[in-house]
Amino acid sequence: MMADHPELSAQEKAGKAFPVSWDQFHRDCRALSWRLNAVGPFHAMVAITRGGLVPAAIVARELGIRVIDTVCIASYDHTKQGELQVLKDVSAEVAKLGGGTGKGLLIVDDLVDTGKTGRLVRAMMPDAHFAAVYAKPQGRPLVDTFITEVSQDTWIHFPWDTALSFQPPIRDGGV
């Protein structure tokens, strides 16, 4: 891993790319739904925006969850993780369904990375079931259910952040 250079983006520091197609992401979300179906039912779902919105839609459909709320936390731009900002908390109605501690609520995110967001959301709803499609080692202890673990130095390229374009072969410097 490279030394800590603030002028380098997280992606440049990471060095490992993990591109995820829409098809693969949908399969992973369905696999997450299978696992969650065994631990539910859930009163409601809370998606961590923005990354949790797409998996939340898929999981909600698969599990028949109709009450869906968001907790809006800004921590990433497209290249680096910064300080956390709670832009919107869980609604009073959904918090009430979880008894104020999140019991019976399902929290969904695309990725748990360093755990900063996860710790903040856990503090808001300590008894909720926290699920993520992907987990990195630093954040993994915070989630109850996930599908794929990737190394801490891997940068996941989600399908909503990418476009189809030519990629050079690996031997020519492609990733």
Per domain, the residue ranges of the chain are 18-157
Amino acid 169: pLDDT:
83
Amino acid 173: pLDDT:
74
Flag residues of the chain having pLDDT under 70: 1-15, 76-82, 174-175
Amino acid 13: pLDDT:
52
Amino acid 172: pLDDT:
81
Q: Which CATH class is domain 18-157?
A: alpha beta
Catalytic annotation present for 4: no
Amino acid 164: pLDDT:
76
140 Cβ neighbours under 8 A, 6+ residues apart? 112, 146, 149
At 65, list the tokens.
């969850």
Our CA angle for 83, 136, 11, nearest 5°, is 60
Amino acid 74: pLDDT:
86
Catalytic annotation present for 110: yes
Alpha helices per DSSP H over 38-157? 53-63, 92-97, 116-124
The residue annotated as part of the active site, out of 69, 77, 89, 110, is: 110
Catalytic annotation present for 109: yes
Amino acid 144: pLDDT:
98
Residue pLDDT, tens place only, 61-86: 999 999 999 999 987 665 666 688 89
